[in-house]
């Protein structure tokens, strides 16, 4: 029997659906213009929006205004090829208008010619206590007092 690896199961639609839909991390597929192409069950749960609602929105519409500049800088850095992967804390706004913090990892997917194609973003809800711990850890790692 052939060993099971991520490479072998990702091509299987049932496994792919299982990985995306049962993940405890929210996943977004975002077009280069910011349009949300798809969202996992966990991201829908975190945001309070349905998949149909999210697919009519842009990531800018669900990003907290105070985090918009940093989010756009990250997008531009990835498109320009200065970075291929980013990890940061950001706030989203849920359907009720309430902000929530998420630890975000985002990567730009490129096509076979190396042209930017779309973003894959993983977002993990961060509770307030964990948020303070992460802020302190990242300040320490960046050498800030």
**CATH for 71:** 3.30.450.20
Residues spanned by the domain of 20: 6-141
pLDDT at 132: 72
Residue with tokens 């792919």: 16
Q: Report if residue 121 sits inside a domain.
A: yes
- pLDDT of 103 over the 70 cut: yes
Inside any domain, residue 39: yes
Q: Is residue 1 part of a domain?
A: no
pLDDT tier at 115 (50, 70, 90 boundaries)? Answer: very high
Helix (H) or strand (E) holding 36: strand 36-39
Three-class SS of 54-113:
HCCCEHHHHECHHHHHHHHHHHHHHHCCCCCEEEEEEEEECCCCCEEEEEEEEEEEECCC
> What's the pTM?
0.80
C-alpha neighbours within 13 Å on the C-beta side of residue 90: 27
Give the per-residue pLDDT at 4. Answer: 57
Burial readout 12-27 (b: 16 or more C-beta within 10 A, e: otherwise): eeeeeeeebeeeebbb
Split into its structural domains, the chain has a count of 1
In a domain, 134, yes or no: yes
State the pLDDT at residue 131: 67
**Does residue 66 lie in a domain region?**
yes
């Amino acid at each position: 029997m052939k060993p099971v690896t991520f490479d072998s199961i990702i091509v299987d639609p049932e496994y792919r659906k299982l990985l995306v839909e049962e993940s405890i991390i929210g996943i977004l597929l975002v077009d280069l213009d910011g349009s949300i192409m798809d969202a996992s069950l966990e991201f829908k749960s975190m945001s309070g929006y349905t998949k149909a609602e999210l697919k009519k929105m842009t990531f800018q519409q669900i990003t907290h205004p105070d985090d918009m500049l940093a989010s756009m800088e990250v997008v531009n850095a990835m498109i320009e090829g200065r970075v291929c992967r980013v990890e940061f804390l950001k706030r989203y706004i849920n359907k009720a208008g309430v902000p929530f913090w998420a630890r975000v990892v985002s990567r730009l997917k490129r096509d076979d010619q190396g042209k930017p194609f779309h973003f894959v973003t993983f977002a993990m809800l961060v509770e307030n206590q964990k948020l303070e711990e992460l802020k302190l850890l990242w300040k320490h790692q960046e050498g800030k007092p």
